[in-house]
Chain A
Amino acid sequence: MAVLRTLLYLFVYPGLLFLFAYSTFCEWFDRKVFARLQNRMGPTHTGSFGLLQPIADFIKLLAKEDVVPAAADKGLFRVLPAFGLAVVSAAGLLLPVWNFDLAVPSFTSFQGDLIVLLYLLSLPTLIIFLAAWSSTNYFSSIGGARVLTMLFGYEVPLFLAVLSPAILAGSWRLAEIAAFYQAKPLLILPNLLAFAIAVVAVQAKLERCPFDIPHAETEIVGGTFTEFSGKKLALFRLMFDIEMVVSSGLLAAVFLGGFPGGALVGFAHLVVKTLFVIFLLSLIRALTSRIRIDQVVTLAWKYLAPLAVLQLLIIILLKGLLS
């Protein structure tokens, strides 16, 4: 039974199958919201309401010619897309959706899984950098340098922002943090500032407008992905979709009270809360123009990081008051 549960967990929900299906749905949702905000229709033809469009895109990309540049580091170039996909999928397993017991830590939910999840979500950035660097294209190299520069900007504010609800809840375990806020929903409010910072940082992590600098089409063509095509590009795109689901799931677990009520009700919570976060991300994407790389670093260190520290202070004081 336990083996079956684990297999179900690994491959069906929230494992590969669910992550694939749900991330394509989220891509559709993001594209549709983005399009409607721009007074366009978005995907309409493939499947009802164009729901199957991301899957169609994925399959089509798989069928495209796959070119490996002669000068590229071929080993790295080939393996990195699959590695990136594996990393974000593994991160997805740490979301506290079901199959955990608050009293008994298991391999999917343990003290410190918040840190592991954040770590796993940082890896794609490095993978993208390596991918860009190994393709030895000027545009890719510039894109890769931009990826790393941005990482130094948004990573610290994101970590600080995610820490503040964890400190208030007094735990490093996602399931416990979620349970804490389910018990005291009002305490979600003092964390709103951190939530806003985290949303901006996640937007930067996902390289979406206004932070789509590493693959700014009008500046450096495909940027990091200039040399990637076919299957490899498809895997990278899927990686970003899954990363979007996992990071919005992380924000939902930490800031919005998680996914209570077992597998089924929890599933409804997961869908509603992640879609809410993704809606915010789409909103930012539609409302802003791409900023410059130096402006990202300025924004992160001048505004986001100090605000995150301020939030931490507020939370620590509040914690003192409450106890």
Chain B
Amino acid sequence: MKFQIPIGPQHPALKEPISLRMTVEGEVIVDADIRLGYNHRGVEKVAEEKNWTQNLYLSERICGICSHSHSTCYVQGVEKLMDIAPPPRGMYIRYLVSELERVHSHLLWLGVAGHEAGFDSFFMYTWRDREVVMDLLEMITGNRVHYAINAVGGVRRDLDDLQKAKVLEGVKILRERSVYYFRIGASEPSFVARIAGVGVLPLEKAVALCAVGPTARASGWARDVRKEDPYAVYGELEFDVPTADTCDVLGRVVVRVKELLESYKLIEQMIHKLPEGPIAAKVPRKAKPGEVVSRYEAPRGENLHYIKSNGTDKPERLKVRAPTLANYPATVEMLRSGFIADIPLIFAAIDPCICCAERAVVLTSARSGEESIVRLGDLRRQALERHQKAPLKRNAVWPF
């Protein structure tokens, strides 16, 4: 018997709203369809109303996990437009926060992968240790989630020796724990049985569907913007791009844990090489007319910001292509095989950040399947009308 089960927009496996419509035959998936647009916030439009500095904080709010990725990607572009170079110390601090963010994002993901597979102990332990890096981030930037460390032309806060020592200390603990998680994640029999051979994405498919980040790297495609187009400080640092050739969720776990270890290496190098000098440069209020594409390797893959300036203090256009969006076509492909039990794992394995990727809303009528694009004002009017027409709800009755 074939039927369609709705995974989302509200579902325990999803932390944000998205709709995966899975056609299943018993336990086996026969087809998958993905619907986006439940979390559109109009960030790009808002960006056109705000000046270069204000947009820094707006772009940070595109995502709650890789907030620094979006703000750094944006600020890189703006600095290029303004033709200024931030001082090296500022650069080092900025990318130090980047790597710490990658560590926190990957640890978070490991826990989520454990939780989706029903391995809650793994989830609890990784999230406990994630607090170490969260504390480091709070110490350096003053915030746990939206660090707001970036400023156009550098960073907002300096690092002192005590903080440097604390970061090194934290990295030592984290490295030890990550090696342990690597052992668990790649060898605990019931967990490996769930992830090995699940969500297979062969290399040629990964290339054809333009997968990015750990999803692409787990298919044996060594794509990393930090390596292939070394921006900022990455040219001066030594690190490897870990890949796996199993092309499945296990490979994605392995790649992410190895990336954690590479990030620790980078953090230590940055702390040791931290140059002296100012942390920020003076910047003009307006940018020259022109356009720029800024690339940045976020924890989830390549992040892309396109910024167009018309010579005023506001961008004419800001276009964000979050890594999750780039991974959706590959996800649909991966979801098309396997069991119902694999859905949360496969979907979680791209580390989806749904609100990052929402750029437009297309309304689909539930009855006819007709698609339409509606203005926000109309949508609001429709919602009010529907609410007024709806029959009165019977109140819940107190049982005693």
Contacts and interface: CB of A to CB of B under 8 A. Distances in A.
Interface of A: 37-40, 62-63, 65-66, 138-139, 142, 145-146, 209-210, 212-213, 216-221, 230-231, 286-295
A230 B398 CA distance: 11
A139 B10 CA distance: 13
A217 B119 contact: no
Interface stretch (B156-164, B186-194, B226-234): B186-194
Contacts of A38: 120-121, 124-125
Nearest to B122: A289
A210 B12 CA distance: 18
Contact of B194 (A39, A62, A291): A291
A138 B194 contact: no
Contacts of A294: 27, 339
Nearest to A35: B124
B117 interface: yes
Given A289-B117, A289-B191, A291-B193, 13 more contacts: A38-B120, A63-B400, A138-B5, A219-B340, A221-B12, A230-B399, A286-B120, A288-B190, A289-B118, A289-B194, A290-B341, A291-B190, A294-B339
A295 B193 contact: yes
Contacts of A293: 27, 339, 341
Contacts of B390: none
16 contacts: A38-B125, A65-B397, A66-B399, A142-B24, A142-B27, A217-B12, A218-B118, A288-B188, A289-B118, A289-B190, A289-B191, A290-B194, A290-B341, A292-B194, A293-B339, A294-B339
Interface in B340-361: 340-344
A218 B399 contact: no
A9 B3 CA distance: 50
A107 to B, nearest CB: 36
B343 A62 contact: no
Nearest to A62: B399
B116 interface: yes
A291 B117 CA distance: 8
B278 interface: no
A138 B3 CA distance: 8
Interface in B148-193: 188, 190-191, 193
B35 interface: no
B124 A39 contact: yes
Nearest to A141: B3
Contacts of B398: 63
B399 A216 contact: no
Contacts of A217: 12-13
Interface residues of B, number: 36
A65 B12 contact: no
A78 to B, nearest CB: 14
B114 interface: yes
Interface in B1-22: 3, 5, 11-13
Contact of A39 (B114, B128, B340): B128
List the 8 shortest-distance A-B pairs measured between CB atoms, nearest first. A290-B118, A289-B119, A218-B13, A38-B124, A218-B344, A289-B191, A65-B396, A288-B190
A65 B115 CA distance: 29
B26 interface: yes
A221 B190 contact: no
A217 B12 CA distance: 6
A219 B121 contact: no
Contact of A289 (B26, B114, B124, B397): B114
A63 B399 contact: yes
Nearest to A210: B190
Contacts of A145: 26-27
A39 B339 CA distance: 32
A292 B341 contact: yes
A189 B399 CA distance: 52
Nearest to B12: A217
A290 B117 contact: yes
Interface in B97-155: 114-122, 124-125, 128
B8 to A, nearest CB: 11
B124 A216 contact: no
Contacts of A37: 121
Residue of A38, A66, A231 most packed against chain B (CB within 10 A): A38
Contact of A292 (B5, B128, B339): B339
A39 B119 contact: no
Contacts of B340: 142, 219-220
A209 B117 CA distance: 10
A219 B194 contact: no
A293 B27 CA distance: 9
